[in-house]
Structure 1
Amino acid sequence: MRNKNFPRVMMFLMIFFLVTYPSPSVSGKVEDTAHLTLQKTIISKKSLDTYVVQKGDWIFNIIRQKFGASEKEIVKILEQVKQLNPEIRDIHRISPGQELILPNRETLAAAEAESKTRLKKSQGNDKDAEEASALPYVVKEGETLSDIIHSELSAVDEDIYRMLRTVKRLNPNVKNINKIYPGQKLLLPYVGSQDRGERGDQLSGKGTSFIAVKRTEPTKVVKKKILREEEPVVEKEPAQLKEEKKTIIPPEKKIAVIRYILSRINGSVISEGKYFIPLFPTGQITVDCSSVPVIELDDGMTVLLDFSGSIPSGIKQVIETTWKNYVIMNIGYDKDVPFMVEEIINKSKDYSCKSVRNFVTVGHTPSIRLYVDWIVSETESKGEKPYSFGIKNVKNSSSLLPGNIREYSDKKGFEVVELLRGSEVVAMSETFDDAVIPVLAYETNAVLAESLLTILGYEPEKAADVEIYNMKEHGFSLLLKVDLFLTFDNKRVILHSKQIPQHFIDALKERGMNYVFLPPEQKKESVVETVLSAIEAPFVADTFRFSFSQSEGKIGGDIVLAAIRTVNKNKAVYFVTQDIDPGINGLLQKKWGVDLIRY
């Protein structure tokens, strides 16, 4: 019968083989990038303890009791406990009976000493060697830093960012390395002993050249292709960027954008320091987070962003086989940030990111349509409504959503993250002050009519006596007390809530007065239209759209408003039945010169 432990034994042998006897292809890859370090026997059975969680335990108390650690030491030890137990989604939520793997005192002391030694040695050696081998260079007329890195260092596009960081480090006296001028002296990193003047004659084919990458091991010359259509890496203000030319975005900016978006779903990005992945029982993998950022998602998934494809396939297989919640993603630096985010989020179990490139409707008072490129949403609702937010890629400032729109969308539970050409998160644009909507009084239809006329600037007379017949002309006198009597432009209008005989109406008409009947059962919308007709104000009842964020003939959204529209004193007035958000009302007033009146 086959031994049940056979698969575990095979896995152990495979890991042991990879850690202790890496193949030439694997070792070469590690040497090229130095992103990953395999360390044998860092973690052994003797240096680990198993602890079974008891009722009432919590992680800080366990560490404090076991190690007698101070608060500062607890934080350091906690990081090692997290690394030793990557399958635990939240180390702060543990339950009785759960097993934890803990380091012992000797392991902690050794790890601390090794870390200090390695850091000191690395900093000293790297800095001294780098500065000693640096070469002076004088900037020429019309050159950008991109030109210099391409021509003098023979760097391909994927190496520009690494070279740029090195140039910054070698020139600490230059405040802004992206703003250089003719005659300025710079130090450039040494990239090999081959004479630069001879490189053009030694190309083995069109579009290729040799570049040497500096390492702690003996230098190797790696054959790479150089793109002839170079692009500057000089950082500019967003308004100065040309839309027709794709701009190189520094990795730091991309990581900052990814970090901001993932924070919306409680994800985090580690882009500094070291990250340890245990490979039991023989060792661990150390990840340089500045080269391979590590993303920890809220559902326990951990994603390693391998931008340069530096992690060997064998190592990737070991990590992903050992830890089911670890994923290594090969993403090139040339990929736009939103597409990176889409791939990362779709590794999560709890959230999904979909490309929609369409309008979504937010709110009801009023209803607002927003154009978004991506929607991130919960796969299963943890509350009454699944959490979701949108990502919108904008090209210029005119494409940005008005601040009032973003605030309204936030209040309605749909945040919109705006990215300026995928390179940076855009802060909320100008926000206009809130404006309260005036509300017409309404007790009866006559009161509504009076309030409407007053707010439009008319002065109706209430409970007026109107003469229908007089003694001189008819031999008798008849007065009618009406609800409202209005005089404007040599015209007279009676608005009354009671019906009168037709011959009375005809008599009033003969005397130049227009009688308007407002029955008590008449709906408010109809009353508004009747009053506007009585004062001969043109109006239309319809659904109106106020478009915003227009760019290149496309709109970023619109405010959808059902209203009765009229013009009063050369200004548009919209009568609405809804209680419109004050922020949206403020935007309508300032941007479109619209007055809203609620009835």
Structure 2
Amino acid sequence: MRVIKRFPGVSVFWCLFSTLTALLLLPAPDSHGAMLYKDYVVRYDRGWDILCDPYQVQRGDWVLKIFRQKGEIAHEDFREFLGIFQRLNPHVKDIDRIRPGQVVDIPLKKLTQGTLPGQSSGMVTIPFVMINNPKEMIKKNTRTYTVKRGDTVSKLIANRFGGRYGNLTYRQGIELFKSANPHIQDIDRIYAGQKIYMPDPSIRQENWYSDLFDKDGKLVEKMPEAAASEAAAQRPPIEQPEDAGPAGEAAAMIGGRLLNKGTYFLPMKQGRDFELDLSRYPMIDMGNGSKVVLTSRDKVMNVDLPLIQSYWKDVKVVKVAENASSREIIEAVFASLSDAASANQLSFDEGAATIRVSAKWIRTETSADGQVPRHTCITPIADPSQRTHDAIVRYLNQNDIILNELVSGASQTEPLRFPVNNSDNTGSIDGSSQKALLASFAASMDFRYSPNTGISFPYAGIQVQALSNLLSFGNGREILVDFGDLYGDAVNAIRKTGLEILQVSVDAGAIKIIQQVMDAAGMAYTAGPVFYGAERPAEFNTTITINGILIPMTNGENRLFTERPIPQLIEMFLRDRGIHLFRIQGIGQ
């Protein structure tokens, strides 16, 4: 039996990573080490679930030190993860000044929907590190490096690790390089502008360094437990990135990544590569092979814009004002993209809900596997109160639709908080038969229903006795409900006595019957109600149309009856709107 220690709390989950007594060490099958199980929090940021490690700051901690201690941070894009940290921890005003006792969420990695069991609940329990994994130790001791013209791996390793080609120090450096760059199939083929990860020479000063290699200088599969534990406690610092400003915000909104440091080399058919100074002409990598260069001039690196546009088909040059806002940059970028000027609406159905998303700009790209389209929807809004409800944002994310709402003149770093609504305001209606449906619906509405009630009416000169179903609405109205038991002129004869009869056809569905009852009661209702995901005009908003009946009650409550299930996150959104949900069960049985 596997025992897992869970950390209590609803709004804040926290634990001390460095205190191993807060974890349970459990043996992993066929392993020389041990597996640590731990609860992690799943937060949401700009269209992604983010696996986070809640951490209580200790004396002597600083943010970058904590990042390195956690062991899962994405080194290949550290700047992005620092931005995520700032958005998820708005209470940390200055990352260089954190206080002992503060609780922060450390972002570990991005997750696609359904990656981990229980992910949608906001908390998962997983094994977080094999304490004897040397590749993890190497990964945490690397620095990002951009290849320059004339560089080779052998030169770079020799310069950093010393020694001659082929000696032990050099061979170990090569082994470290291969481990840190598994994406490079041939280390003899690197190119100018390529981003690689160089092992930090200071790693050789660690007491556990020799345990990374076997007697032949090859990397071992597992490290001794004591050496691995020591390695996990020591990490070199990382330089803090600079704020990317409106261009960085625009890139993030679009779903791209801003490159604004160093030199980017664009290949030429002949001669030297075109060298783009990113500090003067920042570039947005759109993630699908295309790139957008931002400039406030009519030339880029003294080359006319039309020439650049014609030479590299995947490179667009967008002219923006020198002090352009993120909205102005986004508008200019979308105007330049040939596939961005089409529809600004998306729609799909799920269960009882029809979802329609309207946005100012929509960018569609395929997923990494080239199959699932991913849509980034961007809309400017007046103030934070016009943001789309958190549950709707998460629901759309699960369907590969990312909502990015640009708040004019305000910070874009406000984190999305997953709403918690534990109120029990759901009910069910027995739809196993028409008669059962009527009885159950009447009870849910506080109507008075009396099946098989005796009635008497004159027919052909005699007084006839019969049984029917009496429904009283409490507003002075009463009707008889006939499920096909009354025939011929009997119906007209009963109506002449002043009683109204609602005749239900044998093929009438649940929603149709409820509509007929509400019409007979003279009460208001809405068939197929429409809800807006945000408190703002409908032009650029998300609408949720429910295939059901919405009934307003005199006490201000609204009751929604549906035959098909409503997606869980949309249920949460409706509950937050004060709507009492009723699902009609057993239809057609």
Question: How does the TM-score come out when normalised to structure 1?
Answer: 0.48
Question: How does the TM-score come out when normalised to structure 2?
Answer: 0.49
Larger Rg, first or second structure (1 or 2) = 1
